Structure 1
């Protein structure tokens, strides 16, 4: 049995408190209607009024906006305080802007620019919308969970600033969005039950984009939230329907509604009064006298009363929502499940395909008449002296925030001045850099916060973790293994810890570093968040990490170990496309070092441009391949060393220059030693070669674009890495897809062979795996001979 309106066995939250004063509700209802009108009008103007030369659909979501207009009115005009933050479901963007318009944040000129170039965005955007948007949304499930990571970030910042973390973190979520796995990954994280500032409001209208969901299983949703430690408040029915349930036969009607499938209830929302009188009695939950009781109950109702009563759900009842808000328990997360009608108040209300439906011109004009509005002049605010106008002014003042005073990020050194020796890996260099930072730049080190999805030890963070401690919402937790001599990695948890350990969920990892990377703009406190995960799983985490950058977050993601160089692990743990992903991701620097010294320079450079306007994120692709560090040939002269460092962070450098080269070998990352071995083999054959080490192909490609006048920028690095007078046939090689470096041959139009990994990996010895993919020394030599002969 699939109930249309699922309830817990306890009385719903909406009936527990007395009904507030009628006058207050009348004012709220007037604002609610104006919010619905303005949001509907924004979409109507974008599609029916504004000139559209291309003829492409503009779109918008009038039904989705109408579904949540009551909830957002109740939240903004009664509950919110300036310290609160709200993530608004993507398709309710017009409602958010309509509210901000009534509060005076934007002018009428913005109301006509929805989805226009340079105008109000399709989905709420922190960085692009003209009014206050707390969380960018649009990536389904990611924006919904952002307040979880925002809450943790706010608490973390308070451990640095000393200021208390105040304010609730609200998330307005459509019920269909709960299908996203990212939602449940986030809810199940061990930190979440301690976050009492979290309040989610589920707009449960039983519809997805395509249909009425046949098995919405609201009861299961309630149980899942409750099992995760949340307070669950369900607001199923409005006051009118609850009053009918108290009449003779009302319990039978309640049982009938609860017992019918979702599509059947949804169909009732589209029925006239006559149709309701025929359909509603039905068979009431095994009660023999059920149909007659329902007929008797609804028989005395006027047609309009009957239609309105069946549509009287809790998510459209201001008193019911107010009562639910009053029961929020701030000691644990809360979810309010509010039952709604998609398209409430509009002609397409409850229609199974109303997701992208638009009102016709005639329907819009009739709506204007019904609401007492002017279709030709839709952008009317309330009179300043009216009760609604005065309330809007009061709320605008209450929600006014002081401008954020942004602190300058602490200085990050460019070079610690020490040169690694012996044999080492770029992955091992990560932990060493973090520890060196605590000694050389403690102020900067205090702003570092690392995060990991249960791979801290296997990504060389153990030393840093022992030094910095593990962040916890609680006061110091006892480490029961502190006296165990065989325990090398010490799990000391405290609120001042600088490492956040998550469960095995890459989406959570990049979501939290994205929010940690936005604290500079939210609260004026810059951080240097660094997330570490296995490189093959970067692709799984890419969309939420990209969302974080779009929303203004600046973070560092480190993928390690990487490539087929992780030979014995086989194809399941070998990455192929990540070099290309890194160079193609907007607002992101992408580095792949060959040597430990390069890892230091890259990481420090990435940190040095974070926590400020115009900053970027960074992705480092590290390896567990042991490499003789003397091959890096780091110059001893300070000026020459600095020149090498600048080249490394700009995209590449010339590792060896032959006197009479016949070929250029261009290599990146773990295969640079193999390129050097190939050069020795070629030299023995009488063929000299230049060796070029690429550290950031994305920056080199930007330099190529700048040279062609396609983007603003500087192309100086091209002349140092690939000068025209040394242009020779080129072999490129990397432990990744070959096309990542293929563009380099086009700089001077030289013949080229591009070696890399274009198939799924294999387990085996490193030499066998390299040979299989054609990135071994023999393959490099053969490619060079093909070009030179």
Structure 2
């Protein structure tokens, strides 16, 4: 472990810096000369020069954000020069000789400066942005599709999630092609670091059955064998290759550059190859950090083979040091040759061997992750790159081959603007009545089927997704009506079985997608399905359905999907402890908090079928358009008597009720608010308990108002808007539910954590008692579960009387 007192300004020990400077000056790392690329009319030296300029620009972008910017309190800006450098060859070869305008690329988070450098050379980014990395209004710390000023195909700040996003984008594109006759698209590339392979999301994605048919998916792994803190200890490439191959992926490896390959063909070359392939990662990294004069001894080790020793001794120290750095991920010709081998009938992974920090003074250092070059080292790099530190942003002069290559690439990658969409114009409500005794979970399936019947043109844009829980979440009727989408048609062997209720018809025209039991895959897919409006001008309404207790498991990738612009609906059902026999293992107490606190999201917990109808159609109408929002529904299996909603018959009052339900809630009391002694406020499955408690209180001479909250988040947004803290929906609903002139104690009740409704105390400053679930439960009957957690009618009645001093 390093001594912080001996560290220089870049976070690297001064003793180590002596090695950095010697490595920079002696081997003078640079991109090797390349012959003419098969995919380009420009010479290899032209591609080399472009790669070197990309290296310089990406490094200078980070340098300008740190040495060139004063920060309040000396807070470090940061950036990843070494992580960017290892990607330069891979990305230069890809952009300047391989990509087409229909291709889409996800760039590993720490290589965002390389993306911005390339976009700048292609004229897609103004010079004024280059010094603005990690500043307000400037370049984001990691690629951001919604916040960066230049072209970014995928947001990738969340490690592992950005890597898998192109898989789900490819699947979404295939879905669109099958349903809306879009022309074929291009490839979907993921550029990821080898440390990202530790993320479970990666492996959940590659083993999904549908994924193995996506021949337009290509992953390129930057195999630099370093993570944030260390050199990865194991040589695990064979294991990784085997895992991808077992999932039916094509596996390609770009290991050695041409210089080393020529050495391998000489006497003793096979021994050299074997030595390098069997060398532990740490030993190889230490070899890179050695002075060129020490490299031969370290390479040969104790008791070397005479033939290997003869080969090594024939090389000058500088040449040997350069050869040891000659990995395939930095050899553009080798990369392009590897790209030509991609099999378009199945997904492909390319393992490209690289050196973290290649071409920088920090290359190969185990602590180089966040290290910054010194001013002296920046000037040396500038000289190697044909530019200078005092004027760092120069493009290639007009008339040069490099400028012509940038111009040709910019033209080749030019895209037709995506047409703006206005969303999906679903009706405000449907014409069919609901059952008198039903649950919101059962209502969901019927609503989707009814919408297909009422508005088939727009209902064809609905796509449901579930992780092997379609039948248990009441999607059976919808699936029977629309079918299951599959890349190819599969025979339903139970179609002639009279006892089979769910007909599993798989074909390219279905509207339900069934994944394996992976919540991460589900939310990642609905995020990309919800981005098709902005990628290709075709809006979809993706509705993902999963058990509510598993929403926290899927939260991070779903939040990242909404941040990246994916608009979707997530249905968590069943929720709370109301699925009483399942017990504590399947209860969800904290999901209401998730619904309220997630940006760009409306959280709905309707108690009644009509409320669900209104709010679901409202949520669909907000998808697939600029400024749209995602939605989260928390539904229940508890059958509820629908007459408790006291739906008005008068058309004007009916419309008023609909507007109130969409604003966040409504009163179902028969008396006016000025008569309230106490107000019972609830959402979802507990509403029958509130109604029962109100009846009991009435027998004791206590008038209890009842407020049915349909959307806690919309009420919270209204409060924030009222207080001028953020723009939001109309605030009139707050006065309608909690009139200022008639304060009364509040009893809030929720089948979830009670603090999720606690903000309502601030609407008019009422004394509040909050009932909800704060402990893990156990298997029981429904009345026992509600009583155990204090959300039953008896506890509500007692809390109301206590609040009145009765």
Scaled by the length of structure 1, what TM-score is found? 0.96
Q: Which residue of 2 aligns with 1:721?
A: 737
Are residue 553 (structure 1) and residue 566 (structure 2) matched? yes
In structure 2, C-alpha distance between the alignment counterparts of 1:722 and 1:295, rounded to whole Å: 87
Contact between 1:281 and 1:292, CA under 8 Å: does it hold in 2?
no
1:773 aligns with 2:789: yes
**2:121 corresponds to 1:108:** no
Question: Per-residue deviation at 1:420?
Answer: 1.9
Structure 1 residue 36 and structure 2 residue 55: aligned?
A: yes
Does the aligned pair in 2 maintain the 1:252–1:290 contact within 8 Å?
no
> How far does residue 216 in structure 1 lie from its aligned partner after superposition?
4.2
SS of alignment partner, residue 49 of structure 1: coil
CA apart distance, 1:443? 1.4
- Corresponding residue for residue 320 of structure 1: 334
Shift of 1:273: 2.1
Matched, 1:739 2:755: yes
Q: For residues 441 and 96 of structure 1, what CA distance do their matches in structure 2 show? A: 44
Moved more, 555-564 or 290-299: 290-299
Structure 1 gap segments, 5+ residues each: 1-14, 284-288
2:382 to 358, 368, 382: 368
1:707 positional shift: 1.4
Are 2:248 and 2:346, in contact at CA under 8 Å, matched by a contact in 1? yes
Number of residue equivalences: 768
Q: Is 2:726 the partner of 1:711?
A: yes
Instruction: Confirm or deny that 1:686 pairs with 2:701.
Output: yes
CA distance in 1, matches of 2:398, 2:202: 42
Which residue of structure 2 aligns with residue 403 of structure 1?
417
Residue aligning to 1:62? 81
Residue 384 (structure 1) aligned with residue 403 (structure 2): no
Alpha-carbon offset, residue 410 of structure 1: 3.7
Shift of 1:70: 0.5
Q: Name 1:754's counterpart in structure 2.
A: 770
2:717 is the alignment partner of 1:698: no
Q: Which moved more, 1:530-539 or 1:717-726?
A: 717-726
Using a 3 Å threshold, how does the CA distance of structure 1 residues 18 and 582 change in structure 2: closer, same or farther?
Answer: closer
Alpha carbons 2:37, 2:44 under 8 Å: kept: no
User: Following TM superposition, by how much is the alpha carbon of 1:18 offset from its aligned partner in structure 2, in angstroms?
Assistant: 10
Equivalent pair of 2:684/2:751 in contact (CA under 8 Å): yes
Does 2:91 correspond to 1:91? no
Is the 8 Å Cα contact of residues 517 and 611 (structure 1) preserved in structure 2? yes
Q: Distance in 2 between matches of 1:22 and 1:675?
A: 75
- Hey, what's the Cα distance between the residues in 2 that align with 1:591 and 1:777? 23
What is the match of residue 478 of structure 2? 464
Q: Which residue does the alignment assign to 2:598?
A: 585
For 1:44 and 1:728, how far apart are their aligned partners in 2? 60
Tell whether 2:798 aligns with 1:785. no
User: In the TM superposition, what is the alpha-carbon distance from 1:657 to its structure 2 partner?
Assistant: 4.3
Cα contact 2:667–2:706 (8 A) shared by 1: yes
CA contact (8 A) 1:469 1:491 kept: yes
Local SS of the residue matching 1:725: coil
Q: Counterparts of 1:18 and 1:686 in 2: how far apart (Å)?
A: 89
Structure 1 counterpart of 2:194: 175
Q: How does 1:233-382 map to 2 (within 5 A)?
A: 233-282=252-301, 290-382=304-396
Classify the secondary structure of the residue corresponding to 1:156: helix
Matching residue within 153, 161, 168 for 1:142:
161
Normalising by structure 2, we get a TM-score of 0.94
Structure 1 stretches of 4+ moved >4 Å: 17-23
CA distance in 2, matches of 1:66, 1:665: 61
How far the C-alpha of 1:166 sits from its partner, in A, is 1.8
Q: Which residue of 1 aligns with 2:246?
A: 227
Structure 2: tracts of 5 or more residues without a match: 1-33
Q: What is the SS of the residue equivalent to 2:610?
A: helix
Q: CA deviation at 1:236?
A: 0.8
Distance 1:19 1:477, change over 3 A: closer
Q: Distance in 2 between matches of 1:672 and 1:557?
A: 22
CA contact (8 A) 2:39 2:97 kept: no
Question: Is the counterpart of residue 159 in structure 1 residue 178 in structure 2?
Answer: yes
1:426–1:596 Cα contact (<8 Å) kept? yes
Kept in 2, the 8 Å contact 1:592–1:668? The answer is yes
Give distance in 2, aligned partners of 1:720 and 1:586.
26
Mapped to 2, the partners of 1:22 and 1:754 lie a distance apart of 71
Are 2:683 and 2:709, in contact at CA under 8 Å, matched by a contact in 1? yes
Q: What is the match of residue 4 of structure 1?
A: none
Secondary structure of the residue that 1:356 maps to in structure 2?
coil
Residue 617 of structure 1 corresponds to which residue in structure 2? 630
| CA deviation map 1:311-347 (0-9, x unaligned) | 1100001111011011111111111100000000000
C-alpha offsets along residues 564-590 of structure 1, whole Å, 9 cap, x if unaligned? 111110111110011110011000100
Q: Against the structure 1 CA distance between its residues 18 and 368, is the aligned structure 2 distance closer, same or farther, given a 3 Å change threshold?
A: closer
